[in-house]
Chains A and B, each alone.
Chain A
């Protein structure tokens, strides 16, 4: 039974698109279709049904941060290929391709900014870069963000969006779990608050490490928040899954979240929470 168990899902590049695959600007819930500029204007939230489309890390930072206040940090940290990992293609090739396609060096963007005038440290993941998977570079950038937040005494706002650990880095990707956990513990010891905004999807290794350790944890509506995703749970256990299995709404009901906050209200929510902390 354990033989075909999977608890990390990283990328779906080689999965053929389902026959009914819709255009990325078509709402999967209600079928409404939008131009790029329309989606940008609504923060990538469907104006008809409220579905939250994926939001790129830089778009989110541009929205959370006061105009012109964001200064990126650790932008030059890149993944290496310690195992010379080769599945159907070399890992190094996948990395280069991801950087080319996303215009980003890694699956997380970190830096300092002000939010409603309050200095903050931001650590925002980007699912577009290899499924937001966490390898050594993501772990390092997140840990440095914790250190920067602790050193300056500015709250950390973390936005996970990840399929889990990056299996092309083998056991080292698993070690990013304790690594980021230790970084958060150092932040906690410095008495600097951490607020986590779980976006779709927050799963596997990222959920089982830093994403679960915020002082205040909120999620976006409809986000998948699960250690093991529905497909693998179904395949492994043959259990019948509840309709809202693993979604933010179920997680709120079971006590794993402080609130579900729709994207347009998040900036005000974060500002309000941060005013309460020293």
Chain B
């Protein structure tokens, strides 16, 4: 991996849908300053990486049932993102499921040879108080993991911790009935629920290990695949159940993440929402934020405008309660940290 420079901009997801609620001035269709993303073609990337390289990275060489030809587009945006990351981090050991908070400059450094509009957007975020980022692994679960972490952290840092924890636990407990109404059995969800509720509960009362949760232990818990994945899957179940029980709001908006074919509610929930490693899109974010009454702002770092960053708001509580902020780059979500947030 010495002769070819790694691609320096993230790959665009296949058919990223335009976020709704875009501010009027963000219409970039005829913006003369718009810099197109410099993307390696699928073929280039494939030649560059080669099947052995993919194999050595755990991205297994594709076996084809029947006689299909391999197209690079068979990879999901999340896989492409991970591939891109792996190219960048060639000598760096595997990313943790979620990393410690890092200054925005670490992210900026990765784009220095890339698209100027990405750099401008990163600088805009920094200038506007979003000067840190907490990165998650690009394994297709990054949205749920980022959200789960930021949600529990918001309870941990809330002014009235005990009240926040008690309300969160009662809300979480009520989701069990929602899951059952949507046909997800107790046997299937209870272990994940227990891990989730125990972690939240340990903010105000010592958990099984006799310790009260603090930021350091929260990070450790989310780096432990068992706890971390339990929370991811529970959030997937909550999302799925919410979509199933409110199907009239979502029907017609559900598309297969790879083929972009319209899917019916039940197959979408079974094959996309409830499956690990399947990236979340607008619909899942909307559903989960409604189900848990969350305020979430997603900053879209897409390089399509250099003069600012669009925040898409998913708000389901009083505005005064603040919002969890996430950073979206094509195919990936991280946690965006504001310097206004309690330390």
Report if A and B associate in a common complex.
Answer: no
